[in-house]
Structure 1
Amino acid sequence: MKILKKISIILLSLCLCVPCFSMVAQAADGRISFTDPETAVGDMVEVKCVVKSTSGSLGNIEVKLTYDSAALRFDSGDGVTADSDGSLTCTGSGGSEEATFNMKFQALKEGDTSVSVAGATIASSGGGTLTLDQGSSTVKIAEGDPSKITDEGTTSGADDIEVDVNGTTYKLSDNFAEADIPAGYTKTEVQFEGQARQMVAQESSGVTLGYLLDGEGKGDFFLYNADDATFSPFEQINISETTSIALLSEKAGKKLPKTFQEVTLTLNGKDFPAWQNTEKDGFYVVYAVNSNGDKGYYQYDDSEGTYQRYEASGSTEEKTDDSLMGKIGRFIDKHIQMMVLIAGLGVIIVLILIIVLAVKLHNRNAELDDLYDEYGIDEEEEPERNKPAVKEKSATRSGLKKKKDEDSFDDFDEDDFDEEDFDDDSYGDDDYDDYDDDLMDDDDFEPYDDSYEDEIDDLDDLLGETKPKKRGHEETDDLFKVDFIDLD
């Protein structure tokens, strides 16, 4: 009996503990709560849905709601889409512990109605699933003006506007969540194709964003250009605690240096025009507008993922130097590889010419050395100059006179004295008889003087004397010395 009592007490304790644990677990995850507004027939009423977590930041959010379509008609909502009459889906991404969805309805009939949760899938930032308490909204509708009720087709047509962005078709939607609005932007109403549409704008920069849905129903904000009513991809980047930039798809009027080449930069699946610095690998320049509304270039470092303002005021095309040196410089810059090749070939050719000339000069010197050795040019000594003998004046004159007489005899040729010219008859012996022997007496001659013999001796010495050669500027160490030999 005592054993049964103990078992009963244990079982009762366990039963009491089970609901306590479950309630603690639910309370720890969070709650889905709503506001309870009051309105009148024909008026617009706003219902706010708040998803709040008590166990950390929220992740992806999907909440399905139901309402009485006879009492309320859905008009618009942040991140809320109408699946069918009486059914809505709220979607968003967390990043914080709370997410808010604002929904607008028009009251159709008097009475009380409600907006309740049909199902919810809430994830934490860590990827886990959260279980939240689910509340509901009670809307009290008083008597009003039924004439304010607009046609049902008027509001539904607002989501049917299609726009084209880079060849892809999107639908403009007013249903975006408050949590999806980029930081620094607030809701605004913009006239688009004759309709008042819900968009967001940044007051400081004047940038306006529209919420577009793709073919799969996924929404995102796109940059709206009011000048031509077009949309382009939008990507906001925080470069500091107080400044952010939005990349632009348009091209700036200022030109960049020639070292930049236009490319396409892809960020988060969105393509933007960029310019890559060919001299610095991994550096790009993008065109963006900052949070103050100033447009300009920003340099993006691919390796570090950082942005820095790039001054392009001095990046316009450089003035062309039309001088001769400027043209030569541009030609060299344009054909630098060819110029280096030509210079290298020129150096090689000069080296070859130097080597050839050196070899030829070496061979020539060798030939000259052989010539010197063969003729003994280096061993010859310059002959001593013969000093002319100083003779008496009379002897010199006599010698010169005799030499002159001898030269005069050379002028006669042997042919001038042919034997035939002398006839025996003309020169007979009888002719000599006419001369008297007395004419040949020794007394008729003067005595012989020995001084004549001395003069003759001096004349012989003079004739045998070698005439000194004229010495020019030739030296014994000259390269060449030529002896001319008269062969006549």
Structure 2
Amino acid sequence: MKRLKKLQLSLMALLFTLVVAVSYNPMISQASSATVTLSVLKSDIKVGQKFSVSIVLNASEAISSFETQLKYDPSVLKFVSGGSYITEADGVISLLNDTVEDGTTKQKYVMQFEALEAGSSKIQLSGKPLIYDLENGKLMSLSSNSVTVNVGSTESQSKNNYLKSLKIGEGTLSPAFDKNVLNYNVTVDASCERIIYTAIPEDTKARVNVKGATNLKTGTNPVTITVTSEAGTKKVYTIVVKKEEGDAATPEPSVSPEPSPSETPKEEVKLEDETKLEEIDKEQVVCIQKYYTVAKLSDESMIPEGYEKSSLNLNGTSIPAYTLKSNLNSEFVLLYLENQNGEKGFYQYDRQEKTVQRYQEQKVSVQPSADELKTEASKSSNTNTLVFAIVSLCLIIVILVIISLRLFMRRKQR
């Protein structure tokens, strides 16, 4: 009898101590995890073929958002499409989905590529992927893989890697251009900082890549023009540019907004570049690394938010341009152009780096702040503590009832 009472009191004290300890040391929940799996149905592709790469996300808990970047070799593969959540710029693919359906633990995305030339390219996650737990807002731990795509040439594809025409804006080619002649010379004056050129391949499916045309130094400067055929074969044309000694100032193009009759013209934006505007087959062509045809924007509602129509003066000729409303002196200017593949769109001119690249509107991912994450974590911890305390109290009550029943039965037997 006394032993049972002692056992009863000891058990109650032990459980009471456990409940108090839990109240001051909340249970630490394990971080949820996710796996990103990249897969391709066929890893051996021929030049010119299109193929799909799948991104499958599996998480241990429901997710609220998913953001990551992927990298690949843009000289071997060309990104074609990826749906509304995926964009691409300069060989980097960005995936952002901050509208994941509640309760979802699995997501699938599909990207489409085109094989450009023979070689291999690894496709893999880049940087730090961000996957957030829907319930507690915490960042999930992540594991992922990579896939390698091998591109081979095919006999049915064109091996034509000749240039149809080659023109330069400064000096005169020597000898005159002939598609069978691979080496040329040209002399330019001291004011020339880069060679402005148009290099058009015979085969529209061939690609042209130029190196060494910028930042010319006094003396000899080799400029290489590589033509890659549809089948992946290459031909290299070389122009040896001899820059003379001396100092001279080079006029710079400028961007100026189009004033309305009631407005005073705004301050011009100076572009530190030697971009030239040429006419080829009666079309205006902007010559910067590649040639782009100035396209007509039929619907002005397509102008990106925050930009307004202005004009870009190149060699005394005005073409449409688009500048930031809030900052006319911004280092970026937009042009609406058509590339060599006949694709139209906005292109962004960088005044500092003196480059033109396809314009992509940026999406902003809004993640919970540190204070919000701390508050959510605190709520989750308090909830775990309360649940554990209730379960412990219920367990104490059950044990006390059992002990009381046993004591009652023993007394009754006596």
TM-score, length basis structure 1 = 0.27
Q: Per residue, is there more helix in 1 or in 2?
A: 1
Greater RCO (CA < 8 Å, at least 6 residues apart): 2
Q: Per residue, is there more strand in 1 or in 2?
A: 2
- Asked which structure has the greater CA Rg, the reply is 1
TM-score, length basis structure 2 = 0.31
